[in-house]
A and B are shown apart, each in its own frame.
Chain A
Amino acid sequence: MSRFLPLAQAVAETVHDGDTVALEGFTHLIPFAAGHEIIRQRRKRLTLIRMTPDLIYDQMIGMGCAERLVFSWGGNPGVGSLFRLRDAVENGWPNPIEIEEHSHAAMAHAYEAGASGMPCAIFRGYIGVDLPKVNPRIKRIACPFTGETLAAVPAHRPDVAIIHALKADRAGNVLLEGILGVQKEAVLAAKRSLVTVEEIVEDFGPRNLNAVILPGFTVAAIALVPGGAYPSYAQGYYARDNAFYIAWEPIARERNGFLAWMKDNVLDRGPEVFALHARRHAVGRTARGDAANSRGDA
């Protein structure tokens, strides 16, 4: 059953040196606050899994948390490169990093296979492309019924999945809305999971009968961190800070500038700064018009 913990304690108890860790969230609900806590606790030798490494893995890789990266698209979305990831791959700074590269389809199916308790994912993919030549974990398998050649990749079974969600209730269940990415699959595929949330409510109240809910028995730890997905976004709470994504490129381009920024904004700070960011980018109302009632900082 899930336990409510302060973020620092939740990370200390769930993430250990050498673990395979998946911080998921597809553009939406990226668990930045949890990633920063991992950096502050100086975790090392992690295998990081994530479809789109985004700025959070750029930061974790640049701070020396990772020795291996499993991913499918490693850019700054809509902006360009992740310079800390590139420096690690191209120059081995701050340490060499091994990469295991897939397509989005393969990564999504690998999480789904992990959540399903299957050893591998099978799909129609990687046809006529070069990734199978450089990633020995991409294999071919023949359909036993039709003979069609299909792609197979091993299931993702991370030691820890970390996601950010909108709400938890007092019983420790977790509610997700909006762009869902692979968060549900990542949590169900992992041996243990940590969820940061915008707010904790008595109960979820009236909701869609098919609302996306992770029952408390699938979650190890819940930490209340309003704004914990900033500078990504939380649907109905705050908007993606696209200007920060653009500003990140010059920050991350040079090692010293990056280290100075990390000291000022991560090492010397705590998770409480995320609530301030969220307030600055708060959305009063989404196009659906129902979000104003559920704002955590209202």
Chain B
Amino acid sequence: MTETYRRTEMMTIAAARALRNEDICFVGIGLPSAAANLARLTHAPGITLVYEAGPIATRPDVLPLSIGDGELCDTALTTVPVPEMFRYWLQGGRMTVGFLGGAQIDRFANLNTTVIGPYAKPRARLPGGGGAPEIGSACGEIFIIMGQSRRSFVAQLDFITSMGHGEGGDHRARLGLATKGPTRLVTDLCIFEPDPRTKEMSVTAIHPGITRAEIAESTGWPVRFAATVAETPPPAAHELEVLRDLHARTARAHGQAA
């Protein structure tokens, strides 16, 4: 169990473990897609993966580069048009969990993927929200996976692309939302969960070999630690093997060096 692993592997594996066999998961591209498929290939073979391009219950052999790769359609139970996906399947309340990434996050797990700087004259124009604004409100709960740094974990977002816990406390409920919002944020350093009352994301588990000081240095606000902080179990040999095989297959399929 002392096998060496990279921090991104620990992050992906810790995120995958949060998914349950019975989940119906609306999957974002990139890290969320890697974690969701790792869950499917390890402890959650029955999980239903849904991508916004239309595939429902897809079982891709390699990770898609984009949200609508043919692999997703080839291996899906069915593929529906995009308006139906957003209307019946997402807005209809059928997704138990939405799995998102982001460029910037704040202490209440609001996400920004729209602009750095002012909207009208941005210093950097990011891709934008895509499905995220409604994924964040319509899924039963939200898991977020993001590399942690002061650049990405900021005190003040330049733009709220998708709502997490807003201003904290009962903000979601005040806006009429009955869904839970972000319940878990997994980084390459640790795992955050919302404080039950304030909804501020607080560290509940630290990955092996990571210190509290490093987490604090990588967070743009005074980071809170829960009363009880666990150590994340290190990657099991089986988890690492399946994840590495998946990435190697994916790299070959996309014409890149592994």
Does A184 belong to the interface (CB within 8 Å)?
yes
- Cα of A283 to Cα of B67 in the assembled complex, Å: 20
- Cα of A52 to Cα of B52 in the assembled complex, Å: 12
Q: Are A125 and B68 in contact (CB under 8 A)?
A: no
Does B221 belong to the interface (CB within 8 Å)?
no
Instruction: Please pick, from B70, B81, B129, the residue contacting A239 in the complex, using a CB distance under 8 A.
Output: B70
| CB neighbours of B161 from chain A (8 A) | 129-131
- Cα of A129 to Cα of B255 in the assembled complex, Å: 38
Assess A185 versus B65: contact at CB under 8 Å? Given A127-B177, A149-B176, A243-B255: no
Q: Are B81 and A129 in contact (CB under 8 A)?
A: no
| CB neighbours of A251 from chain B (8 A) | none
Does B162 belong to the interface (CB within 8 Å)?
yes
Instruction: Please pick, from A85, A130, A179, the residue contacting B68 in the complex, using a CB distance under 8 A.
Output: A179
Q: Are A128 and B172 in contact (CB under 8 A)?
A: yes
| CB neighbours of B187 from chain A (8 A) | none
Classify chain B: how many residues form its interface, as a range.
Answer: 35 or more
Q: Are B73 and A178 in contact (CB under 8 A)?
A: yes
Assess A180 versus B137: contact at CB under 8 Å? Given A73-B129, A130-B159, A246-B256: no
**Interface residue ranges of B65-111 to A (CB < 8 Å):** 65-70, 72-75, 79-83, 85-87, 90-91
Q: Are A78 and B68 in contact (CB under 8 A)?
A: no
| CB neighbours of B55 from chain A (8 A) | 179
| CB neighbours of B29 from chain A (8 A) | 77-78
Assess A287 versus B75: contact at CB under 8 Å? Given A182-B81, A185-B83: yes
**CB-CB nearest in chain A for B92:** A124
Q: Are A104 and B171 in contact (CB under 8 A)?
A: no
| CB neighbours of B222 from chain A (8 A) | none
**CB-CB nearest in chain B for A101:** B128
| CB neighbours of A287 from chain B (8 A) | 74-75
**CB-CB nearest in chain A for B134:** A105
Which stretch from B36-44, B119-127, B147-155, B227-235 is at the chain A interface?
A: B119-127
- Cα of A127 to Cα of B121 in the assembled complex, Å: 24
Chain B residues with CB under 8 Å of chain A are 29-30, 52-55, 64-70, 72-75, 79-83, 85-87, 90-91, 114, 119-120, 122-134, 136-138, 159-163, 166, 171-172, 175-177, 253-256
What 3 A-B pairs come out closest when comparing CB atoms? A27-B68, A75-B127, A128-B163
25 contacts between A and B (CB under 8 A): A26-B53, A26-B68, A27-B66, A73-B131, A81-B127, A101-B128, A103-B129, A103-B131, A108-B83, A108-B85, A109-B87, A112-B87, A123-B86, A123-B87, A127-B175, A128-B160, A128-B172, A130-B159, A131-B161, A178-B70, A181-B68, A233-B70, A240-B69, A240-B70, A287-B74
